[in-house]
C-alpha cells in the first residue's frame, strides 16, 4: 500500500476494498474484492478506480456517495 496520496473517502493507491453495494446496472456481486489503482477528484466525476480481482466480471469504477465499499484491513 502506498504511504502517500489519499483519494476520495480516504482510500490510498494499493488499498484492498470489498464491494458492499453499487447503483450501477451491472455491478460485480456484493463481496467482490479489488485493489485501488487511482481516482478522479473532479467533484463532477469523482470515481475510485479499481482493479478487480481475477474472476470478478466487471470493470466498474466506484462512485463516492453512490456506491458502498469497505477497505479491507
8 A C-beta contact, residue 14 and residue 1: yes
Of 60, 57, 53, 12, the C-alpha closest to 36 is 12
* Residue-wise pLDDT tens digits, 20-56: 999 898 899 999 999 999 988 787 888 999 999 999 9
Question: Quick one: pLDDT at residue 3?
Answer: 44
User: What pTM did the predictor assign?
Assistant: 0.83
Amino acid at each position: 500500500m502506498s504511504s502517500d496520496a489519499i483519494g476520495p473517502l480516504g482510500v490510498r493507491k494499493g488499498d484492498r476494498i470489498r464491494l458492499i453495494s453499487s447503483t450501477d446496472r451491472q455491478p460485480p456481486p456484493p463481496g467482490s474484492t479489488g485493489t485501488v489503482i487511482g481516482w478522479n477528484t473532479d467533484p463532477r466525476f469523482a470515481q475510485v478506480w479499481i482493479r478487480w480481482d481475477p474472476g470478478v466480471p466487471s470493470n466498474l469504477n466506484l462512485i463516492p456517495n453512490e456506491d458502498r465499499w469497505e477497505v479491507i484491513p
